Amino acid sequence: MVNQQYDPNLLPDMLPIYYTRHFPQKVFCRWLACGCSPHPLSNREMSFTLADDVYLRYLSINNQKELQDLLQKKCPHKLDIGAVYNTKPSVGRYDAVVLARELVFDIDLTDYDEVRTCCQEANVCEKCWLFMVIACEIIDKALKEDFGFQCILWVFSGRRGIHCWVSDYEARVLDSPGRGAVADYLCLITGGENQSKKVHFGSENLHTSIKRALTVIDNYFLQLLEEQEFFSTPEGLSGLLKLIPDETLKSQVGKKLDKLPQSSLERWTSFISIYEAYCRENGNAMRKLKYLIEEIKTQYCYPRLDVNVTTGFNHLLKSPFSIHPKTGKVSIVFKSSNIKNFKLDDVPTIYTLLDDMSPNSSLHQNNMKEAIKNFQEVVFLCEKTGAMRRRNNANTSIEF
C-alpha cells in the first residue's frame, strides 16, 4: 500500500515539479537568512547530491530566484545545508572561515539496534518509532528548559530518524568545544559495544534534567516494554541481568525470571519487587543500587545522539523538505508537542504529492501544508527573536 508508485527512476522528472510547486522556497530562504544573520544569505553553504551520487559542495544563493534557478538547473536528489562562512563559500573555499551554524542533533534508529527488537538497520516501523518520540520530547525539553533556547526546528530525516536545528544566536555561534559540551550534557549513555552497563547515576540526588527525562520515559516505558518485548527471549533476559552490578541480586533475579512466562511486563514487574525486597534487606547494597531501575530504563529508552554531527561546526545536514532518494518521503517539519501523533505512513512522498489519484493524496497534501505551517512558525519566531536581539544591541551601544 505504502509507496506503491515508488520508482526512483521517476525522480528526475518529478523533482523539478516538486521544487517549483511544493517546496516552500520562500520560507526556506527566510529560514536560511535568519540563520545567517548578520551575514548575507550568500555566505551559507548548500550542497546538492545529484543523480548517480555526484556531489556538489560550496553552493550558495543570494535570493529565492537564484534558489529556484539552481534547483531547476541541477535537480538535486538530495539537499544539504552547511555552515555560514565569512565569504561566499564558492569563492573562498580554500580559506573560508566558518562563522556560524545552527546547533544540530541527529538521532537515528540504527543507533538503537542493541535495544530495539522489532527492526534492525535500515528498517523502521511504528513500534520502534516510539524511541524517536521519547528522544524528541526529552531533547526538546532540555534545550528549552536547561539552555533557554527557543528557535528549535524538528525535521523528519526522511527514513528512520529525526533532526533538530537550534537557530538561537547563542547556539549558532557556539564553537566546537561548546557544542561538544552541550552534546556531552545530553548524553547519558556512554561506553561502546563491549560495555554492558552504560548508564551510571551514582547515589547522590538525581539532576533535574535526568529526573525530567525519566518522567518522559515513564510515559512510554510500559508500552515500549510490551511492544519491544525487551526481556522475553534468553538474550533479552541475559541483557537485563548484565545490568545488575550486585552478584547476589543478579542470581536471585536470574533464577526467578527464568521460571516466569516470557512476558517482558511480568518479568519487569517481578524484577522490581525482587530488587525492592533486596534493598530493604541489604542496607549497604542500597548505595550501589540506588538508581538501578532508573538506570535500566534510561539505558533502554534514552536518546542516542550522533555526537559528531552536533560537535562538528561544518557538518552538512539534510535540508528540511528535501526528498529522501530511497523512500521518496519528504523531510517534513513537525512540532515536538505533536510527535506522539506522528505516523510514518502519513508522511507525504513526492509521488503522492504529484499524483492526485493516489489513495493517500489528500491526506498527504494536508500533512504537507501542516508541515509548512510548522516551518513558518519557527521561522517567524527566529525572525522575531533576531529583531529583538538587534534592538537590544542597538540600545546597549547607545547607552555607552
Q: Which residue in the list 45, 111, 140, 227 is annotated as catalytic?
A: 45
**46 binds Zn ion per the rule CB under 5 A:** no
Q: Which range touches Zn ion (CB under 5 A), out of 4-12, 115-123, 159-167, 368-376?
A: 115-123
Contact 321, 23 (CB under 8 A): yes
Does 125 bind Zn ion (CB under 5 A)? Our answer is yes
Active-site residue flag, 106: yes
Q: Which of 108, 111, 137, 306 is catalytic?
A: 108
Tally of CB atoms within 10 A around 7: 11
Q: Which of 51, 91, 99, 118 binds Zn ion (CB under 5 A)?
A: 118
285 forms part of the interface with Zn ion (CB under 5 A): no
Catalytic residue, candidates 80, 102, 106, 111: 106
Among 51, 56, 119, 274, binds Zn ion (CB under 5 A): 119
Binding residues for Zn ion, rule CB under 5 A, total 5
Question: Which listed range, 59-67, 113-121, 286-294, 295-303, lies at the site for Zn ion (CB under 5 A)?
Answer: 113-121
69 catalytic, yes or no?
A: no
Least spacing, CB of residue 126 vs Zn ion, in Å = 7
The region of 45-53, 124-132, 340-348, 368-376 touching Zn ion under the rule CB under 5 A is 124-132
Cβ 230 to Zn ion, closest distance in Å?
Answer: 13
> Is residue 108 annotated as part of the catalytic site, yes or no?
yes
Radius of gyration, CA atoms only, the chain: 24
Catalytic residues: 45, 106, 108
Residues that bind Zn ion in the complex, under the rule CB under 5 A:
118-119, 125, 127-128
